[in-house]
């Protein structure tokens, strides 16, 4: 196959003349009507996607070949077509059509979503893990070191249009989480082993013996990195050290939660947990650590900002909480911890009985009301309310008194969010049958995923369900209009009313906005 680079020359390979070819004006002859295959695009793209060779034809007087006719060369990807327009072998991007219909992102591997945040300007940030390359709308992301695991953060406008996306090598234990503050800064936590490159910034482990690094990253509205701060963790343990979650505090800082192990440096010197592992809650602002509190008996699982720059943290603990003077009733108990702006406990509450219980998700509204998702093995009573076995949503007033408890059935809750009118949205998974207030949902032996909206008094407002599609579930948040944005993973076709979203591989990522009455 010969390649013609421009109208002035005929070349073999990537350029220059070659025996048996004709350069314009050289006087050498070709046979009139003679044809040869030609391709002027990059050699690696020929035969990929729609890219294909064309034909040169010798002119009537036998002095030169004409143009390469009929060839198809790479061009800018067009999301309106199903073709691999740039012929790079990466599945074509999906047009960010009406977000109410759902958008899908992914490739042939496992691509998953774990983080979701909605900014005051309506922007939508998602984060998670993926197997590169994947195009989130701004070009294929393919980090330099995918063997250690790849993670992403992607931002879209309220209608689903791509704003920016980053892909980076990351540790395998905890996927990145994201959160907006009121000033449109986007914060992210991420876990990495040796190097994390995001945008123009490269974070490198200062000590080759460090098992894992936990980074807090602040970004501007275009995805530029404002600042970073890294904690170092030592030896590994089951579950692995890493960043678990975060909560922007509304004053320019971010409170992060995570797990660490022997030899952890949290910015205030080495910490050596007696049993080898522990957890932390830390506030970082402008790349500086403001405060850190630690526990060897608790694992924080979620955090949310509260009025007055307080932070509410939930999780699970045994014996004594450590973050505050609270004791377990037996087994593992859930906890709710309110930290003031200086990191001191304002109040703390144990959620549990003599069996195993844990608090997995939390949200706080503008009035300081708190919604906590609780998993209980045997049930328990608290504040005059009964928390039944299975999954419940518990509403707390500012200060921690219990307002109500709503049983959601068996299963799990992945995320909760609150609107300022007291409504709460729950992203969960139901095993068997439940009744949230509008009749039975599910079947005896079924497992379904759901999004449920309750009003401020625990009354049923709205819900939608679909078959279980992913091991890791989904996340849901209210947008500025009171509708619900959902991100998750799927493998089987998923239809939100505009035709099915189809996975390009093992699991892909979906993003959808659901109209809530």
In 297-401, beta strands by DSSP E: 298-306, 310-320, 327-339, 345-351, 357-364, 370-376, 380-382, 385-387, 390-396
The H or E element spanning position 188 is: strand 186-192
In 71-146, beta strands by DSSP E: 103-105, 112-118, 124-130, 134-135, 140-141
Burial of 443 per CB tally in 10 Å (0-12, 13-18, 19+): exposed
Sign of CA dihedral 28, 30, 32, 36: negative
Q: In angstroms, rounded to a whole number, what is the distance separating the alpha carbons of residues 2 and 191? A: 49
Answer whether 501's CB lies under 8 Å from 490's CB: yes
Neighbours of 129 (CB within 10 A): 22
Look at residue 2 in the predicted model and tell me its pLDDT.
Answer: 33
* Helix (H/G/I), strand (E/B), else coil: 369: coil
**439 CB-near residues (< 8 Å, 6+ apart):** none
| pLDDT, averaged in runs of 10, over the chain (517 residues) | 33 31 48 93 92 94 91 82 83 68 89 95 95 89 67 94 90 82 94 82 68 86 94 55 86 90 71 76 95 92 94 96 92 96 96 95 96 97 95 97 97 96 96 96 94 97 92 92 95 87 89 94
Look at residue 133 in the predicted model and tell me its pLDDT.
Answer: 86
Closest CA to 174 of 236, 258, 297, 73: 258
Answer whether 323's CB lies under 8 Å from 348's CB: yes
Q: In angstroms, rounded to a whole number, what is the distance separating the alpha carbons of residues 180 and 247? A: 8
Look at residue 14 in the predicted model and tell me its pLDDT.
Answer: 32
Look at residue 93 in the predicted model and tell me its pLDDT.
Answer: 62
Q: What is the pTM of this model?
A: 0.81
Answer whether 100's CB lies under 8 Å from 512's CB: yes
* Helix (H/G/I), strand (E/B), else coil: 101: helix
For the chain, the 3-state helix, strand and coil shares in percent, each to the nearest 5, are: 0, 50, 45
Q: In what order do the strands lie in the sheet with 424-431?
A: 357-364, 370-376, 390-396, 402-418, 424-431, 447-454, 460-467
* Helix (H/G/I), strand (E/B), else coil: 308: helix
Q: Which residues pair with 348 in a beta bridge?
A: 337
Look at residue 108 in the predicted model and tell me its pLDDT.
Answer: 85
Q: Where are the alpha helices (DSSP H) in 255-368?
A: none
Cis ω before 133 (30° cut-off from 0): yes
Strand 54-57 vs strand 385-387: parallel, antiparallel, or unpaired? unpaired
Q: In what order do the strands lie in the sheet with 162-169?
A: 112-118, 124-130, 150-156, 162-169
CA atoms within 13 A on the CB side of 464: 16
- Per-residue b or e along 409-437, where b marks 16 or more CB atoms closer than 10 Å to that residue's CB: bbbbbbbbbbbeebbbbbbbbbbbebebe
- Encode pLDDT of 430-466 as tens digits: 999 999 999 999 999 999 999 999 999 999 999 999 9
Look at residue 238 in the predicted model and tell me its pLDDT.
Answer: 39
Answer whether 125's CB lies under 8 Å from 485's CB: no
């Amino acid at each position: 196959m010969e390649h013609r680079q421009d109208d002035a020359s005929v070349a073999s390979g990537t350029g220059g003349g070659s025996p048996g070819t004709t350069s314009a004006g050289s006087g050498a002859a070709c046979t009139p009507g003679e044809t040869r295959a030609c391709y002027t695009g990059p050699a690696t793209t020929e035969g990929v996607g729609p890219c294909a060779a064309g034909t040169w034809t010798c002119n009537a007087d036998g002095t030169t070949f004409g143009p390469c006719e009929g060839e198809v060369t790479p061009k800018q990807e067009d999301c309106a077509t199903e073709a691999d327009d740039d012929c790079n072998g990466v599945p074509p991007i999906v047009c960010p059509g009406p977000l109410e219909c759902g958008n899908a992102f992914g490739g042939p591997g496992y691509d998953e979503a774990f983080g979701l945040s909605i900014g005051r300007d309506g922007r939508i940030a998602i984060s998670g893990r993926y197997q590169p390359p994947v195009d989130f709308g701004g070009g294929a992301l393919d980090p330099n070191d995918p063997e250690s695991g790849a993670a992403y953060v992607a931002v879209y406008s309220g209608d689903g249009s791509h704003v920016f996306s980053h892909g980076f090598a990351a540790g395998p234990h905890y996927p990145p989480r994201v959160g907006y503050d009121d000033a449109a800064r986007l914060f992210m936590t991420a876990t990495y082993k040796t190097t994390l490159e995001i945008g123009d910034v490269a974070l490198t482990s200062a000590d080759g013996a460090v098992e894992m690094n936990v980074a807090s990253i602040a970004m501007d509205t275009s995805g530029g990195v404002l600042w970073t701060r890294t904690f170092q963790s030592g030896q590994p343990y089951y579950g692995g050290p890493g960043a678990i979650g975060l909560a922007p505090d509304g004053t320019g800082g971010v409170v992060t939660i995570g797990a660490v192990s022997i030899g952890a440096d949290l910015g205030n010197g080495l910490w050596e947990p007696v049993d080898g592992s522990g957890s932390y809650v830390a506030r970082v602002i402008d790349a500086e650590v403001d405060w850190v509190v630690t526990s060897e008996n608790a694992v924080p699982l979620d955090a949310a900002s509260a009025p007055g720059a307080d932070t509410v943290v939930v999780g699970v603990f045994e014996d004594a909480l450590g973050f505050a003077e609270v004791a377990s009733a037996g087994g593992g108990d859930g906890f709710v911890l309110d930290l003031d702006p200086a990191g001191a406990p304002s109040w703390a509450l144990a959620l549990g009985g003599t069996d195993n219980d844990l608090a997995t998700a939390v949200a706080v509204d503008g009035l300081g009301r708190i919604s906590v998702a609780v998993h209980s093995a045997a049930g328990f009573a608290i504040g005059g309310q009964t928390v039944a076995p299975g999954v419940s949503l518990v509403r707390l007033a500012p200060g921690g008194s219990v307002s109500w408890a709503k049983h959601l059935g068996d299963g799990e809750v992945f995320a909760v969010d609150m609107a300022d009118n007291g409504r709460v949205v729950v992203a969960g998974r139901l095993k068997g049958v439940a009744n949230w207030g509008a009749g039975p949902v599910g079947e005896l032996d079924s497992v379904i995923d759901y999004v449920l909206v309750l009003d401020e008094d625990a009354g049923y407002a709205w819900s939608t369900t679909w078959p279980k599609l992913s091991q890791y579930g989904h996340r849901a948040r209210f947008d500025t209009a009171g509708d619900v944005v959902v991100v998750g993973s799927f493998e089987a076709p998923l239809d939100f009313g505009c035709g099915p979203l189809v996975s390009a591989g093992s699991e892909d990522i979906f993003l959808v906005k659901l109209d809530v009455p």
